[in-house]
Amino acid sequence: MEEQKWTEDNLKTPYFIIDETELAKNIRQLKAALTKYWDNAIIGYSFKTNSLPWLLHYFKDEGFFAEVVSDDEYELAKAIGFEKDKMIYNGVAKSKETFEEALQNNCVVNIDSHRELDWLKELNAGSTKVYEVGIRVNFDLEKHCPNETVMGNEGSRFGFCYENGELLKAVKRIVSLPNVRLTGLHLHNSTKTRSLNIYSTIAKMACEIKKTYALDLKYIDIGGGFFGGLINKPQFDDYLKCISTELSKEFKKEETTLIVEPGISLVASPIRYVSSVIDVNETNRNYFIITDGSNININPLQNKQMKFYHIKYQCSSQQKVIDKQVVSGFTCMEEDWLMILEYSPKLSVGDQIIYEKIGAYSLSLSPLFIKYFPAVYAKREGIITKVSEKWTAQQMIQSDGLHDKGII
């Protein structure tokens, strides 16, 4: 891609920038932990966490599998060039065609819905090939780890429930099919705490299910959801130690592959979002800092607090400290407040606010609202490369079909 003498000071804001050294460090630490504790392992990068093509190529070149959760993501993995059997196909948004193709190609396919059981039955009936599948387990993690899961007492909506017998029913349906083997358990869970306790519990559950149902399994897919790139949080080494301690009570490393599906732990910490102050609007109620950044790019679900940021003031002399500044975005939504700065030097037009560790569930959840996707750069050994162009009106009309049909 295009390479120029860019510096972080002359790039047009807003933009994302990937620190390749940090990305490489996260990957190295994950691989080292797997080698140490469970060297029979597969890493599937979670596409949904950030599906920037440059990142997907990066992970492919690192030998990762693609962890995809829809037919669109599955097609994207193929378009990026992931080998046809280096995919982990999860989720409830598979299409029948891609489900069948993934099974024909010997991908890791984890069944997550009743309709997939029906598709499997049809596939079994018309074939002599033996298909291997895994199944997504739904178990009451909140009961084992109170106040730690995202859904709390409402429980997860994914997979087949262990406690009420739905899992057993699904397992029985799968093993009754002569051309299908149940070879894996998928146990991804979304948690608030990402604690070690969560992963010990998941690993224990894998052992319990294997024992209770007398399953002969080729893999345990523990999912993603780890912390990464944060010094005061559990490290990959800590997670893998916990997982391996529990799993080895029922599984042998040589016989059972451990699958991990990291997303946030790899891509959050290396990515920053740089925005500039474009105006200041003082009202009787607030001092609003208007920026060319927005929550729609970095906090589209408005569920994060901006904990990691720094500010580059243009004026080197000390600014007056003011008690409250509302940093807000470019959209016309009143709620587009990125953060409130308390007792900090007054911001002026041209100052930059740089949000750090913001690479996960930011770009991939950004809507095309008012302004289109910003440019993305990567920085390696001081050299900056553009890895994704800013979207313009051209990308917005590229697939409307009206031009091709001569309608306009």
Ligand X SMILES: Cc1ncc(COP(=O)(O)O)c(C=O)c1O
Tell me if 184 contacts ligand X by CB under 6 A: no
Size of the site for ligand X (CB under 6 A): 16
Q: 164-168: which pairs have CB atoms within 8 A and are 24 or more residues apart?
A: 166/138, 167/135, 167/137, 167/138, 167/209, 168/213
> For residues 22 and 261, which CB has a smaller minimum distance to ligand X in the complex?
261
Q: Could you say which of 14, 159, 184, 225 contacts ligand X (CB under 6 A)?
A: 225
Stretch that binds ligand X, among 10-18, 145-153, 241-249, 263-271 (CB under 6 A): 263-271
CB of 276 to ligand X, least distance (A): 29
Handedness of CA 73, 74, 76, 80 (dihedral sign): positive
Quickly count: other Cβ atoms within 10 Å of residue 32's Cβ.
Answer: 13
Spatial neighbors of 129 by CB under 8 A, at least 6 apart, are: 104, 179
Tell me if 189 contacts ligand X by CB under 6 A: no
Buried b / exposed e over 162-198, threshold 16 CB at 10 Å, is beeeebeebbebbeebeebbbbbbbbbbebebbbbeb
CB of 65 to ligand X, least distance (A): 12
Backbone phi and psi for residue 182, each to the nearest 5 degrees, phi listed first = -90, 110
Stretch that binds ligand X, among 96-104, 261-269, 298-306, 336-344 (CB under 6 A): 261-269
CB of 393 to ligand X, least distance (A): 32
Tell me if 112 contacts ligand X by CB under 6 A: no
Helix (H) or strand (E) holding 266: helix 264-267
> What is the amino acid identity at position 298?
I
Backbone phi and psi for residue 236, each to the nearest 5 degrees, phi listed first = -55, -40
Tell me if 229 contacts ligand X by CB under 6 A: no
CB of 112 to ligand X, least distance (A): 9
Tell me if 14 contacts ligand X by CB under 6 A: no
Q: How far apart are CA 258 and CA 186, in angstroms?
A: 10
* Per-residue binding letters, 200-219, with ligand X (x by CB under 6 A): --------------------
CB of 84 to ligand X, least distance (A): 20
Buried b / exposed e over 96-110, threshold 16 CB at 10 Å, is eebbbbbbeeebbbb
Stretch that binds ligand X, among 20-28, 124-132, 221-229, 327-335 (CB under 6 A): 221-229
Q: Could you say which of 134, 223, 293, 374 contacts ligand X (CB under 6 A)?
A: 223
Tell me if 188 contacts ligand X by CB under 6 A: yes
CB of 303 to ligand X, least distance (A): 13
Q: Which of residues 340-379 bind ligand X (CB under 6 A)?
A: 360
> What is the amino acid identity at position 215?
L
> For residues 223 and 300, which CB has a smaller minimum distance to ligand X in the complex?
223
Q: How far is CA 277 from CA 288, 303, 336, in A?
A: 10, 23, 14
CB of 400 to ligand X, least distance (A): 31
Spatial neighbors of 230 by CB under 8 A, at least 6 apart, are: 269, 357
CB of 18 to ligand X, least distance (A): 16
Tell me if 190 contacts ligand X by CB under 6 A: yes
Tell me if 265 contacts ligand X by CB under 6 A: yes
Helix (H) or strand (E) holding 221: strand 219-223
Positions that interact with ligand X (CB under 6 A): 46, 49, 67, 90, 188, 190, 223-226, 261-265, 360
